[in-house]
Amino acid sequence: MSEFVLPEYTVLMSVYKNDKAEYLDAAIDSMVVQTVAPHDYVVVCDGPLTAELDACLEGWEERLGSALNVVRLVENHGLGYALNAGLHECGCDVVARMDADDISRPGRCKVLLSKMVSERLDLVGGAIEEFDREPGDMGAVRMPPLSKKDIDTWLKGRNPFNHVSVVFDRRMVEQAGGYEPFPWMEDYWLWVRMIAGGCHCANVPDVLVDVRTGEGMYARRSNKAYLKSQVCFFSELRRLGLVGRAGQAKAVAERAVATLLPTGLVKLMYNKLLRTKVGDCRGR
């Protein structure tokens, strides 16, 4: 892709009091050492932080100087609200999302930006590998659909993008209305509205981010509030004409089953049915 000039980009993150300072430090560091370095970093503090998290950010402010913009919200509002606040502070039109407890692989942004420029995309993501204690300890990869055709199909029943992996055109996100309140579903709901508005998008097969999961992620899928949000979400998809009655019922039934199962069985189900083994994927 050497014939393409890659755009400058901003890293957008959100952190809140329950995050761990050591994880935040590793997450920021993984973006600092990208082979195509960011232009700037926006970290939104979603409400007051712990002393350890504040100390971590102060250390990075000393290291990165004016390239790091720490935005502090007085109260905790949730991920969607925090990311919207950060979008307005981004210095570039291209934004790379990052979570406060995951680790991007060094070539992540070069791969995504090359894809974005060569195919004139507004949104592009990649595969992620989940881990519990150390990267590689689970061997479970969430491989997204690659083509626009497959993304449109997946959209009707599953989130077609790994949120932490994406880069996007900020203007397209703002045109779609930005992140809207929808518990646990803010990114999925954003992709739906962006694609409905004509967004050009794709995924790459490369594993680009190591993502912490542990029992917390699977316990969430056994949460009744999580199921309620899913029911509302697929009702919205049906209202928009993206799924029919049968598709809505199937999606809700699958999630209801996960709510009723013990956390251990939910974890087993996701790893066996919805994840790919590392050996079947390409990493960078």
pLDDT in tens, 52-108: 999 999 999 999 999 999 999 999 999 999 999 999 999 999 999 999 999 999 999
> Do 143 and 57 share a structural domain?
yes
In a domain, 135, yes or no: yes
Domain count, the chain: 2
Question: What CA–CA distance (Å, rounded) separates 148 from 200?
Answer: 8
Which pLDDT value is given to residue 282? Answer: 44
pLDDT of the residue at 133: 84
Higher pLDDT, 149 or 214: 149
- Residue 66's domain comprises 9-212
Q: Write phi, then psi, for 205 (nearest 5 degrees).
A: -80, -5
Is 3 part of a structural domain of the chain? Answer: no
- Distance, in Å, from the CA atom of 222 to the CA atom of 257, rounded to the nearest integer, reads 9
Residue with tokens 């490369």: 206
**Interhelix angle for 224-239 vs 186-196, to 10°?**
10
Whether residue 284 lies inside any domain: the answer is no
Evaluate whether residue 283 is within a structural domain. no
